Amino acid sequence: MDTRPILFLDSGIGCLPYGHFFHSQNKNERLVCVGDRANFPYGKKSREEVIKILDSLTDNVFSLYDPKILALVCNTATVSGLDFLREKYPGVPIVGTVPAIKPAVTASKTRRIGVIGTERTVADPCIKELAERYGSDCEIIGIGAPDLVDFAQKSYWASTPAERLSIVTRYVEKFRAASADSIVLSCTHFLLLRDEFLAASGGDIAVYDSVEGVSRRVESILDDDGGKLRAPASGADSGKKIIPHFVVSGREELEPYWEPLAALYGFSLEKAK
């Protein structure tokens, strides 16, 4: 049994819905989510810049938390730095976030798949490689949406349902005009807007995300080798509730949206020292 925490890392608030889902299924596990506010957004940075950020950030958080597993719940961080981090930390299982291309391709009838994410993720060769692997006849319609990433990060908490639906609908209509019958949410920030994507799709465009896939992969690592990385069940048995922890980087005072977002997903909030 291993009581060390599992670390979920993202450029901002995207780790919250992923961490929330994982924790809902694994309540005995200690979970620390890190939102890298100091370097947000990742999507406009080069691969080399993202790797440099991840190199420094993981130095800090590994020294603080000694995680037993690291999950990069950020598509941009994954396509840029997953291999680098696995080489840097060979003794720590590291899970990446892979866009849900496979189920979208498998179910598509028009053979046109919409992919929405950061500019770096959408432009990365891995998107087309995944499509080729699971359906070589499919065409990828990729849209980089930095304004939507920024909206989810900074404006979601104060926006109205109508405002959220409006900004999402503009993108959904672009995919509809291109005859896409599915949309893959390839930025973890967009999980905050999943209901809006579903509403705007009107049922004729399927919406896919990777939140369950990431959770299942972390669980499979916990269960390897007889479950030696699993935390003991004593916390739940004793009635003690384990609260997941959300740590935000950056020296400036936290903007007002961090607290309500952390509370929305059941996390305690702390500014990194």
Q: Give yes or no: 138 in active site.
A: no
Structure tokens, 178: 């291109």
**What is the crossing angle of helices 161-177 and 194-201, to 10°?**
50
Q: Is the backbone peptide bond immediately before 41 cis, with ω within 30 degrees of 0?
A: yes
Q: Which of 15, 33, 74, 138 is catalytic?
A: 74
Q: Which of 15, 33, 138, 187 is catalytic?
A: 187
Cα separation, 169 vs 171, in Å, equals 5
Instruction: Please choose, from the candidates 59, 82, 62, 70, the residue with its C-alpha nearest in 3D space to the C-alpha of residue 19.
Output: 70
Cα separation, 14 vs 253, in Å, equals 20
Q: List for the chain the helix, strand, coil content (%; round to 5).
A: 50, 15, 30
The residues carrying an active-site annotation are: 74, 187
